[in-house]
Structure 1
Amino acid sequence: MFQANPPIEVLKRPVTWMMFYFHRWIRLTSALMVFIGFFDAYGKYIQGPYDALTGYSMVTQTDQCDYWSDILHISNFKSVDKMCYLPAWHLAVDLQFTLVAPMFLMFFYYSALIGTTIAIIASFVGSALTIYFYLHNDMLHSAFTGNHEYHFIFLLCFTFVFRVDDKLVEIILSKPWNQLAPYMIGMIVGYFLAIYHGSRKIMHPVASSVIWILVTVIGISALLFGNSGTSQLTNALTNVLTRASWCLCLVWIIVSSEMKWAGPIGHFLEHPFWRPFGKLSYCAFIVHHMALYFLFNMEEKAPRYISFWHEYFQYTIPIVVYSYFVAFFLSMFVEVPMIRLDKMILDRCLPASKIKEHEELDDYDDSDIEKDDRENSNDDSERGQSKSRSEERSIEDQNEEKSEEDKPMLLNSPEELLLNDEYY
């Protein structure tokens, strides 16, 4: 939006924000609902020791859920056992933030100071709500408990542990207030990146290296101490601080890569090798939970933690490979066609060039031509009529030539940039 720098008249049009919402909704919903339908049909054939241990069956879950909640992206306000597909709550939170994003964008549009202040206040409000719900729910941990000892003799204890994790998702993790601070930090950083895009200010390599070391230490600390709370207050503070710390680490990676401060790390992250995987990342996110569920149930016995490297090679790499393999077909048959269809609908219903052309035709004054036609008709009616017809044809030809010449300019207009589907 800020790189396009649209005029205020464009931002005041309701159709601008309708297209903003439609782009985001169709982008999130199409691939998700097709995959949920696929899993509902074929997930019943994926059962094994993981189901027997946990008593958790995704097949039973899809039979009891309401699909309309995922279509409207409100599944994060339902209990875990009522969600059709567990990762969908991430997408629900994303769309809910999209609904309020125009308000914050307009604050930034009028003043960077006002926008930044409102975003910081919203971050503190979200963190305060997270702490409030922690203090009013004694059974919540700062993160997933992680102490799932897989022995059938303690099945009742495992059930309790999974219930605790479910409550953590239902009350804290899946709610917008828990994700509000990272979202606001991202919006502030995105605004300043848009404003200073292309400035390429130089940072000394020593300073950049020091920041990379600090970011690495902060990120590792957030991972290691993310479940170290001993009371509800410390659990709440740990959740809020580790989430903010991880967000700041991501901010530095993005800013340093965009501003060319990352050095060899930036070259590695921007290598063309990653582009196909970036295109498939959304579909891989949708698929990965089923891949995990499928792999766990393929074992002869329920999975248990042995070591980091065992987990990495036994589960992480196969799940990633399987997820991107399935994501390729989901993207090719669903995501890409829906993006093309979305572009066709946009071009047919609201092409920016036609809007501009209509405005120019509305402002066109043809009173002088009508006056000349009337004067000529008083001298010679027949000659005047033929002349007026020829003049009308010439005017139409001139307008057509003018519109053809103006097409490149109109395609680069702020309105076209704002409504371009690639922008969203």
Structure 2
Amino acid sequence: MQYFIIGYIITACSVSYFYLAAAIWSFLVISSIIINFYLVYALNFSIINSFLIPLSIKDVLYKLPWTRIGPYLVGMAVAYFLLQTKRKIHLNKIILWIFWILTTFPIILIIWYSLVESSVLETACLWSLIRVITIAFSIGWIVWASVTGYGGFINTFLSHEIFVVVDRLTYCAYLINPIIIFLSYFDADKAIHNDMIFQLPTFLGVVILTFFGAFILYLMFEKPFRSLLELLTTK
């Protein structure tokens, strides 16, 4: 809800005061990066491996809105420029290769480095500084390239019909996923030993249960109300 309100304010400002909206956007992105850096440093938190992070630290680093607003703002910027340029930007192959390398390599590096067990505080601070915002920009480029016709086989894969079905369930899945996670982890009678081997079947189970529940929720609530709204607006 906080992101929606902030996004609405920035979007409204961009209509008549583009530079003001850009300044607010830049301030919020930079502030989010600095806050993440400060929290890691202030908590003397030197663990990078996400499996080793205590829950009390995760609450501070991942649940607070000001630590997660960066990717939301990047998504807003991508959507804004797609709308303003009307998806018509010509890039030569050299520029495309540069962008694909600059966006793909950081994702691979950050995902791999997230599994590293490091005890160096400076390394953890640097990782927190670039982790979220770098992945957001990389995914933003993939979306932009796919929409504008530069996605290649990635666009072909993401345009498959199966994702049309999944897309209709994403909002319901977003709503029901925290409940599934809570029931799976926090309602257990005994402590769970967390490792990579255990995480894979647990992850798949949570995904299947989430989308199954999202399908039921979609049929019971979203689909009827969407049909009713379409019926009212067409008349």
Question: TM-score if structure 1 supplies the norm length?
Answer: 0.47
Q: Tell me, yes or no, if structure 1 residue 331 matches structure 2 residue 209.
A: no
Deviation at 1:196, TM superposition (A): 1.0
Structure 1 or 2, whichever has the larger Rg, is 1
Deviation at 1:183, TM superposition (A): 2.4
Alignment map for 1:24-63 (pairs within 5 Å): none
Instruction: Name which of 230, 238, 246 aligns with 2:135.
Output: 246
Instruction: Name which of 167, 192, 198 aligns with 2:57.
Output: 167
Determine if contact 1:141/1:168 at 8 Å carries over to the other structure: no
Determine if contact 2:51/2:194 at 8 Å carries over to the other structure: no
Alignment map for 1:62-141 (pairs within 5 Å): 95-138=1-44, 140=45
Q: Tell me, yes or no, if structure 1 residue 219 matches structure 2 residue 125.
A: no
Opposite residue 148 of structure 2, the aligned amino acid is M
Alignment map for 1:7-406 (pairs within 5 Å): 95-138=1-44, 140=45, 145-147=50-52, 164-169=54-59, 171-199=60-88, 201-205=89-93, 207-226=95-114, 230-232=119-121, 234-291=123-180, 302=192, 304-305=194-195, 307=197, 311-312=199-200, 314-340=201-227
- Identical amino acids, percent of aligned pairs: 18
Question: TM-score if structure 2 supplies the norm length?
Answer: 0.80
For residues 119-158 of structure 1, what are the alpha-carbon distances to aligned partners after superposition, in whole Å with 9 as ceiling and x for unaligned? 11221122223333333333x45656414xxxxxxxxxxx
CA distance in 2, matches of 1:301, 1:184: 37
Task: For residue 146 of structure 1, give the secondary structure of its aligned residue in structure 2.
Answer: helix
Say if 1:260 and 1:319 are closer, same or farther in 2 by CA, change over 3 A. Answer: same
Unaligned runs of 5+ in 2: none
CA distance in 2, matches of 1:132, 1:302: 31
Determine if contact 1:172/1:178 at 8 Å carries over to the other structure: yes
For residues 163-184 of structure 1, what are the alpha-carbon distances to aligned partners after superposition, in whole Å with 9 as ceiling and x for unaligned? x322331x23122221232222
CA distance in 2, matches of 1:103, 1:282: 23
Q: 1:35 matched to which residue of 2?
A: none
Q: Provide the alpha-carbon RMSD of the alignment.
A: 3.4
Deviation at 1:205, TM superposition (A): 4.3
Say if 1:192 and 1:229 are closer, same or farther in 2 by CA, change over 3 A. Answer: farther
CA distance in 2, matches of 1:146, 1:271: 33
For residues 291-317 of structure 1, what are the alpha-carbon distances to aligned partners after superposition, in whole Å with 9 as ceiling and x for unaligned? 45666789x99455364xx753x3333
Deviation at 1:250, TM superposition (A): 0.6
Determine if contact 2:173/2:214 at 8 Å carries over to the other structure: yes
Opposite residue 146 of structure 1, the aligned amino acid is F
Task: For residue 51 of structure 2, give the secondary structure of its aligned residue in structure 1.
Answer: coil
CA distance in 2, matches of 1:241, 1:231: 16
CA distance in 1, matches of 2:184, 2:68: 29
Determine if contact 1:130/1:178 at 8 Å carries over to the other structure: yes
Deviation at 1:110, TM superposition (A): 1.7
Deviation at 1:265, TM superposition (A): 1.2
Deviation at 1:210, TM superposition (A): 4.5
Aligned length: 232
Determine if contact 2:145/2:151 at 8 Å carries over to the other structure: yes
CA distance in 1, matches of 2:147, 2:95: 17
Say if 1:209 and 1:317 are closer, same or farther in 2 by CA, change over 3 A. Answer: farther
